[in-house]
A = this chain, B = another copy of it.
Amino acid sequence: MTTLSEGQAGQSKITARSTMRDVAALAGVGLKTVSRVINDEPNVSAETIARVRSAAERLDYRPDIHAGNLRRSDRKTRTLGLVVGSVANPFSGAVNRGVEDVAASRGTAVFASSLDDDASREATIVGEMLRRRVDGLVLTTVRKNQSYLVPEQRRGTVLVFVDRQPAGIDADSVVTNNAEAAAVATRHLQSYGHRSIAYLGDRAELWTAAERRRGFLSAAEPGLVIENLHDEASAYEAALAALRSDTPPTAFFTSQNLVTIGTLRALRELGLQREIAIVGFDDIPLGDMIEPGITVIAQDPYAIGSLAAERVFARLDGDQSESEAYVVPGTLVIRGSGEIAPRVS
């Protein structure tokens, strides 16, 4: 006894989802023939193609990619997972778009998830994506170590790390030249005469924060280093305290977006935005519209995302070369705030 979907019975109103079987029945051909037509395989007569197409259209047939995948030999779901800080922040948004554009050109859809730099959520989120059998994963990680992904990688899931370098696993990564760019920013301030530069940084355990601090320290004479700032408010407080101390810095190097904004607020609060220099790491929306314009090391998150996605597809296409750390250089964008000379005392 064969069971047919409801669609077969009712002529007028399509309500149940129709299957390949239904299309085959309506077109009066075999199941495999429909499969051939739907997948543009050769060896079907033009007339048969037309009949199948019209039947599929009449039933508003939508092939189920997952049912096919179950049996298909390559087992690709044409799906990518992307794990970022938060889809709501501009940096991640641009990475997301870079990944999406490359993925779309390959007929691949993208799952994005926000981590909020919360290490405890990393494994859960990645697990959810793995259950859905993503072909590859583009990851901004928080955990100290990613060795838990090694078995998955061995099974063929492609892993590419972005923004931060992974540990305990061998895989491609795409990052900004954090240390070098931070040193460039620092030397830029020095070239205007600054000798007392305060470093305001993010949580020390983040790879990016550590790299930027390393770059800063490689160029600067030992000075004020404040870390573990993760939002505007804490940066604002830290900057305010530094400026009110007995030996205030003549310039700031802020290692991250929100830290830069918090520091800008503190400078404004004290009316010092034209007295104290500041260079931030990572660009800020409308950074050229404020007064003075904010000088930054601008990253290229779109390029990071698209390059990462390209690496995923290269690996899926069989690239067996050694894993590589790709560097997307940050660039110094001069707008005014970093070109303020220290007050002569």
Contact = CB atoms under 8 A, between A and B. Distances in A.
Interface stretch (A92-100, A165-173, A212-220, A307-315): A92-100
Nearest to A88: B97
A15 to B, nearest CB: 5
Taken together, the copies of this chain in the complex come to 2
B93 A89 contact: yes
Contact of A112 (B79, B87, B107, B289): B87
B69 A97 contact: no
B88 A133 contact: no
Interface string A50-67: 000000000010111111
B63 A66 contact: no
A151 B14 contact: yes
Contacts of A60: 151-152
A297 to B, nearest CB: 18
Interface residues of A, number: 57
A343 interface: no
Contacts of A14: 151, 154-155
Interface string A285-296: 110011100000
A289 B132 CA distance: 43
Contacts of A86: 97
Contacts of A16: 155
Nearest to A121: B104
Contacts of A179: none
A30 interface: no
Contact of A87 (B100, B268, B284): B100
Contacts of A94: 88
A110 interface: yes
Interface in A222-278: 261, 264-265, 268
Nearest to A69: B66
A33 interface: no
A28 interface: no
Interface stretch (A123-131, A137-145, A199-207, A328-336): A123-131
Contacts of A127: 62
Contact of A93 (B90, B110, B154, B155): B90
A141 to B, nearest CB: 18
Contact of A65 (B131, B155, B265): B131
Contact of A132 (B79, B152, B291): B79
Nearest to A151: B60
A113 interface: yes
Interface in A279-328: 284-286, 289-291, 302
A63 B63 CA distance: 23
21 contacts: A15-B155, A17-B155, A62-B130, A64-B133, A70-B70, A87-B96, A88-B302, A90-B285, A92-B93, A97-B114, A107-B128, A110-B111, A110-B112, A110-B113, A112-B112, A265-B289, A268-B289, A285-B285, A286-B286, A286-B290, A289-B290
